[in-house]
Amino acid sequence: MQIRTPHHTLDLSSRVHVMGILNVTPDSFSDGGVLATQEKLLDQVADMVAAGVDILDIGGESTRPGAAPVSVREEIERVIPAIREIRRHYTTPISIDTNKADVARLALLEGADIINDISAFRFDPAMLPLAVESEAPVIIMHMQGTPGTMQANPRYNNVVEDIKAELAAWMSTAQAHGLRRDKIIIDPGVGFGKTVDHNLAILKHAHSFTDLGCPVLIGHSRKRFIGTLLDEEVAKNRDFGTAVISALCVRSGVAILRVHDVRKTVQAVKLAQAIDSAV
Protein backbone atom coordinates (compact mmCIF):
# COMPACT_ATOMS: atom_id res chain seq x y z
CA MET A 1 0.00 0.00 0.00
CA GLN A 2 2.10 2.86 -1.33
CA ILE A 3 1.14 6.44 -2.07
CA ARG A 4 3.36 8.12 -4.62
CA THR A 5 3.67 11.89 -4.92
CA PRO A 6 5.88 13.84 -7.33
CA HIS A 7 8.52 14.02 -4.60
CA HIS A 8 7.92 11.10 -2.23
CA THR A 9 6.77 7.52 -1.86
CA LEU A 10 4.94 6.74 1.37
CA ASP A 11 4.82 3.06 2.29
CA LEU A 12 1.62 3.12 4.32
CA SER A 13 1.69 -0.63 4.89
CA SER A 14 4.95 -0.50 6.85
CA ARG A 15 3.60 1.44 9.85
CA VAL A 16 1.07 4.06 10.90
CA HIS A 17 2.01 7.49 9.55
CA VAL A 18 1.45 10.69 11.50
CA MET A 19 0.12 13.84 9.86
CA GLY A 20 0.70 17.10 11.72
CA ILE A 21 -1.97 19.81 11.57
CA LEU A 22 -0.86 23.33 10.69
CA ASN A 23 -3.77 25.76 10.83
CA VAL A 24 -2.83 29.13 9.33
CA THR A 25 -6.22 30.50 10.30
CA PRO A 26 -7.39 33.00 12.93
CA ASP A 27 -10.44 30.97 13.98
CA SER A 28 -9.74 27.23 14.15
CA PHE A 29 -11.39 25.52 17.13
CA SER A 30 -8.10 24.38 18.66
CA ASP A 31 -5.27 26.69 17.71
CA GLY A 32 -6.61 29.57 15.63
CA GLY A 33 -4.15 32.43 15.30
CA VAL A 34 -1.25 30.56 16.88
CA LEU A 35 0.73 30.40 13.62
CA ALA A 36 0.18 34.04 12.71
CA THR A 37 3.81 34.70 11.76
CA GLN A 38 6.31 32.79 9.62
CA GLU A 39 8.61 32.49 12.62
CA LYS A 40 5.91 30.78 14.69
CA LEU A 41 5.02 28.57 11.73
CA LEU A 42 8.62 27.41 11.26
CA ASP A 43 9.01 26.81 15.01
CA GLN A 44 5.95 24.56 14.92
CA VAL A 45 7.16 22.74 11.82
CA ALA A 46 10.61 22.24 13.38
CA ASP A 47 8.99 20.71 16.47
CA MET A 48 6.88 18.38 14.34
CA VAL A 49 9.81 17.28 12.19
CA ALA A 50 11.94 16.62 15.28
CA ALA A 51 9.08 14.57 16.75
CA GLY A 52 8.90 12.36 13.65
CA VAL A 53 6.03 13.78 11.60
CA ASP A 54 5.44 12.08 8.23
CA ILE A 55 3.13 14.61 6.54
CA LEU A 56 2.40 18.29 7.21
CA ASP A 57 -1.23 19.26 6.62
CA ILE A 58 -1.73 22.97 5.93
CA GLY A 59 -5.17 24.55 6.06
CA GLY A 60 -6.29 28.15 5.59
CA GLU A 61 -10.01 27.82 6.31
CA SER A 62 -11.56 26.70 9.57
CA THR A 63 -13.93 23.75 9.26
CA ARG A 64 -15.10 23.75 12.88
CA PRO A 65 -18.87 23.34 13.36
CA GLY A 66 -20.63 26.53 12.31
CA ALA A 67 -17.55 27.99 10.61
CA ALA A 68 -18.11 30.59 7.91
CA PRO A 69 -16.38 30.03 4.54
CA VAL A 70 -13.55 32.29 3.38
CA SER A 71 -12.84 33.54 -0.13
CA VAL A 72 -10.40 31.85 -2.49
CA ARG A 73 -8.17 34.91 -2.37
CA GLU A 74 -8.04 34.99 1.42
CA GLU A 75 -7.30 31.29 1.65
CA ILE A 76 -4.52 31.60 -0.92
CA GLU A 77 -3.00 34.51 1.01
CA ARG A 78 -2.88 32.33 4.09
CA VAL A 79 -1.56 29.03 2.76
CA ILE A 80 0.75 29.82 -0.15
CA PRO A 81 3.31 31.87 1.83
CA ALA A 82 3.29 29.12 4.46
CA ILE A 83 4.01 26.40 1.89
CA ARG A 84 6.76 28.48 0.29
CA GLU A 85 8.42 29.07 3.64
CA ILE A 86 8.26 25.41 4.64
CA ARG A 87 9.65 24.32 1.28
CA ARG A 88 12.63 26.63 1.77
CA HIS A 89 13.67 24.56 4.77
CA TYR A 90 12.08 21.09 4.61
CA THR A 91 11.31 18.31 2.13
CA THR A 92 8.61 16.73 4.33
CA PRO A 93 5.48 15.79 2.34
CA ILE A 94 2.80 18.49 2.49
CA SER A 95 -0.94 18.07 2.10
CA ILE A 96 -3.13 21.07 1.32
CA ASP A 97 -6.36 21.03 3.32
CA THR A 98 -8.82 22.78 1.01
CA ASN A 99 -12.04 22.21 -0.91
CA LYS A 100 -11.19 24.88 -3.50
CA ALA A 101 -9.48 23.83 -6.73
CA ASP A 102 -7.78 27.21 -7.26
CA VAL A 103 -6.16 26.95 -3.83
CA ALA A 104 -5.11 23.34 -4.38
CA ARG A 105 -3.66 24.12 -7.82
CA LEU A 106 -1.40 26.90 -6.52
CA ALA A 107 -0.43 24.82 -3.49
CA LEU A 108 0.70 21.95 -5.71
CA LEU A 109 2.73 24.34 -7.84
CA GLU A 110 4.45 25.66 -4.72
CA GLY A 111 5.44 22.17 -3.55
CA ALA A 112 2.45 20.56 -1.85
CA ASP A 113 2.13 16.83 -2.53
CA ILE A 114 -1.37 15.75 -1.48
CA ILE A 115 -4.88 17.23 -1.77
CA ASN A 116 -6.97 16.88 1.39
CA ASP A 117 -10.57 17.70 0.44
CA ILE A 118 -13.14 17.46 3.24
CA SER A 119 -15.95 17.70 0.68
CA ALA A 120 -14.88 14.66 -1.35
CA PHE A 121 -15.00 16.84 -4.52
CA ARG A 122 -18.60 17.96 -3.83
CA PHE A 123 -18.04 21.67 -3.18
CA ASP A 124 -15.95 22.59 -6.21
CA PRO A 125 -16.56 20.81 -9.54
CA ALA A 126 -13.05 21.73 -10.67
CA MET A 127 -11.37 19.78 -7.88
CA LEU A 128 -11.77 16.29 -9.34
CA PRO A 129 -10.40 17.25 -12.78
CA LEU A 130 -7.45 18.89 -11.01
CA ALA A 131 -6.78 15.74 -9.01
CA VAL A 132 -6.85 13.64 -12.18
CA GLU A 133 -4.65 16.06 -14.13
CA SER A 134 -2.08 16.58 -11.37
CA GLU A 135 -1.93 12.90 -10.38
CA ALA A 136 -1.59 14.03 -6.78
CA PRO A 137 -2.82 11.65 -4.08
CA VAL A 138 -6.13 12.81 -2.63
CA ILE A 139 -7.82 12.40 0.74
CA ILE A 140 -11.59 12.21 0.39
CA MET A 141 -13.51 12.66 3.60
CA HIS A 142 -17.06 11.89 4.60
CA MET A 143 -19.13 14.79 5.89
CA GLN A 144 -22.87 15.02 6.37
CA GLY A 145 -23.87 18.53 5.27
CA THR A 146 -21.41 21.43 5.41
CA PRO A 147 -19.27 22.86 8.23
CA GLY A 148 -22.05 25.35 8.82
CA THR A 149 -24.80 22.74 9.15
CA MET A 150 -23.15 19.38 9.85
CA GLN A 151 -23.79 19.25 13.60
CA ALA A 152 -27.41 20.44 13.44
CA ASN A 153 -28.97 16.96 13.59
CA PRO A 154 -26.75 14.23 12.10
CA ARG A 155 -28.61 10.97 11.47
CA TYR A 156 -27.68 7.57 10.06
CA ASN A 157 -29.37 4.20 9.76
CA ASN A 158 -26.06 2.47 10.48
CA VAL A 159 -23.28 5.03 10.76
CA VAL A 160 -20.40 2.76 9.68
CA GLU A 161 -22.20 1.10 6.78
CA ASP A 162 -23.77 4.38 5.62
CA ILE A 163 -20.38 6.13 5.56
CA LYS A 164 -18.77 3.21 3.75
CA ALA A 165 -21.50 3.26 1.12
CA GLU A 166 -21.15 7.00 0.53
CA LEU A 167 -17.36 6.84 0.37
CA ALA A 168 -17.59 3.91 -2.07
CA ALA A 169 -19.97 5.92 -4.26
CA TRP A 170 -17.68 8.96 -4.28
CA MET A 171 -14.69 6.74 -5.04
CA SER A 172 -16.57 5.15 -7.93
CA THR A 173 -17.44 8.55 -9.37
CA ALA A 174 -13.87 9.72 -9.05
CA GLN A 175 -12.52 6.62 -10.75
CA ALA A 176 -15.08 6.98 -13.55
CA HIS A 177 -13.61 10.43 -14.20
CA GLY A 178 -10.08 9.05 -14.39
CA LEU A 179 -8.76 9.19 -10.84
CA ARG A 180 -6.63 6.14 -10.16
CA ARG A 181 -7.63 4.06 -7.15
CA ASP A 182 -4.03 3.96 -5.91
CA LYS A 183 -4.18 7.75 -5.51
CA ILE A 184 -7.09 7.67 -3.04
CA ILE A 185 -6.94 7.88 0.75
CA ILE A 186 -10.27 7.76 2.61
CA ASP A 187 -11.31 9.52 5.81
CA PRO A 188 -14.60 8.58 7.54
CA GLY A 189 -14.80 12.12 8.92
CA VAL A 190 -14.80 11.83 12.69
CA GLY A 191 -16.59 14.90 14.06
CA PHE A 192 -18.00 16.02 10.71
CA GLY A 193 -21.74 15.54 10.95
CA LYS A 194 -21.54 12.95 13.73
CA THR A 195 -22.72 12.66 17.32
CA VAL A 196 -20.56 11.33 20.14
CA ASP A 197 -22.01 7.85 19.62
CA HIS A 198 -21.41 8.04 15.87
CA ASN A 199 -17.76 8.95 16.45
CA LEU A 200 -17.29 6.09 18.91
CA ALA A 201 -18.81 3.62 16.45
CA ILE A 202 -16.49 4.83 13.68
CA LEU A 203 -13.45 4.39 15.91
CA LYS A 204 -14.55 1.00 17.23
CA HIS A 205 -15.06 -0.28 13.70
CA ALA A 206 -12.28 1.67 11.99
CA HIS A 207 -10.92 -1.60 10.58
CA SER A 208 -14.14 -1.94 8.56
CA PHE A 209 -13.18 1.00 6.34
CA THR A 210 -10.13 -0.88 5.06
CA ASP A 211 -12.65 -3.05 3.16
CA LEU A 212 -12.84 -0.22 0.61
CA GLY A 213 -9.31 -1.09 -0.50
CA CYS A 214 -7.68 2.30 0.15
CA PRO A 215 -5.52 3.64 2.99
CA VAL A 216 -7.62 4.96 5.87
CA LEU A 217 -6.99 8.27 7.64
CA ILE A 218 -8.48 9.09 11.03
CA GLY A 219 -8.73 12.73 12.15
CA HIS A 220 -9.85 12.66 15.77
CA SER A 221 -7.44 15.11 17.32
CA ARG A 222 -8.83 17.32 20.10
CA LYS A 223 -12.37 16.87 18.78
CA ARG A 224 -15.34 17.93 20.89
CA PHE A 225 -16.49 14.35 21.53
CA ILE A 226 -13.24 13.72 23.43
CA GLY A 227 -13.94 16.79 25.54
CA THR A 228 -17.49 15.60 26.17
CA LEU A 229 -16.37 12.15 27.30
CA LEU A 230 -13.53 13.48 29.47
CA ASP A 231 -15.34 16.61 30.69
CA GLU A 232 -12.56 18.73 29.18
CA GLU A 233 -13.55 22.06 27.63
CA VAL A 234 -10.04 23.22 26.67
CA ALA A 235 -9.11 21.72 23.31
CA LYS A 236 -5.38 21.47 24.01
CA ASN A 237 -6.08 19.47 27.15
CA ARG A 238 -7.55 16.70 25.00
CA ASP A 239 -4.15 15.58 23.69
CA PHE A 240 -3.84 12.64 26.09
CA GLY A 241 -7.27 11.42 25.05
CA THR A 242 -6.21 11.89 21.44
CA ALA A 243 -3.07 9.80 22.03
CA VAL A 244 -5.09 6.98 23.59
CA ILE A 245 -7.33 6.82 20.53
CA SER A 246 -4.27 6.95 18.27
CA ALA A 247 -2.81 3.91 20.02
CA LEU A 248 -6.08 2.01 19.65
CA CYS A 249 -6.17 2.84 15.93
CA VAL A 250 -2.93 0.93 15.39
CA ARG A 251 -4.78 -2.39 15.61
CA SER A 252 -7.50 -1.20 13.24
CA GLY A 253 -5.32 -1.04 10.15
CA VAL A 254 -5.43 2.75 10.03
CA ALA A 255 -2.70 4.16 7.78
CA ILE A 256 -2.59 7.83 8.79
CA LEU A 257 -3.44 9.72 11.98
CA ARG A 258 -4.08 13.45 11.59
CA VAL A 259 -3.21 15.21 14.87
CA HIS A 260 -2.14 18.46 16.49
CA ASP A 261 0.38 17.03 18.99
CA VAL A 262 2.75 14.98 16.86
CA ARG A 263 5.12 14.01 19.67
CA LYS A 264 2.47 12.37 21.88
CA THR A 265 0.98 10.57 18.89
CA VAL A 266 4.31 9.25 17.61
CA GLN A 267 5.09 7.92 21.09
CA ALA A 268 1.64 6.33 21.45
CA VAL A 269 1.92 4.67 18.05
CA LYS A 270 5.45 3.37 18.73
CA LEU A 271 4.35 1.77 21.99
CA ALA A 272 1.24 0.25 20.46
CA GLN A 273 3.19 -1.15 17.51
CA ALA A 274 5.89 -2.53 19.83
CA ILE A 275 3.24 -4.37 21.86
CA ASP A 276 1.60 -5.72 18.73
CA SER A 277 4.91 -7.05 17.41
CA ALA A 278 5.92 -8.71 20.68
CA VAL A 279 6.18 -12.48 20.73
Q: Which tens digit of pLDDT belongs to each residue from 231-259?
A: 999 999 999 999 999 999 999 999 999 99
Following CA atoms 215, 24, 244, 200 in sequence, which dihedral angle do they give, to the nearest 10 degrees? -70
Active-site residue among 64, 105, 238, 258? Answer: 258
H helices within the chain, ranges in order? 38-51, 72-89, 101-109, 127-134, 159-176, 196-204, 224-230, 239-249, 262-277
Fold of 16-271: TIM Barrel (3.20.20)
Model pTM?
0.92
Is 258 labeled as catalytic in the residue annotation? yes
For position 188, what pLDDT does the model report?
96
Is 105 labeled as catalytic in the residue annotation? no
Active-site residue among 222, 223, 224, 263? Answer: 223
Q: What is the domain partition of the chain in residue ranges?
A: 16-271
Above 70 in pLDDT, residue 36? no
**Whole-angstrom distance, CA of residue 45 vs CA of residue 56:** 8
**Whole-angstrom distance, CA of residue 184 vs CA of residue 168:** 11
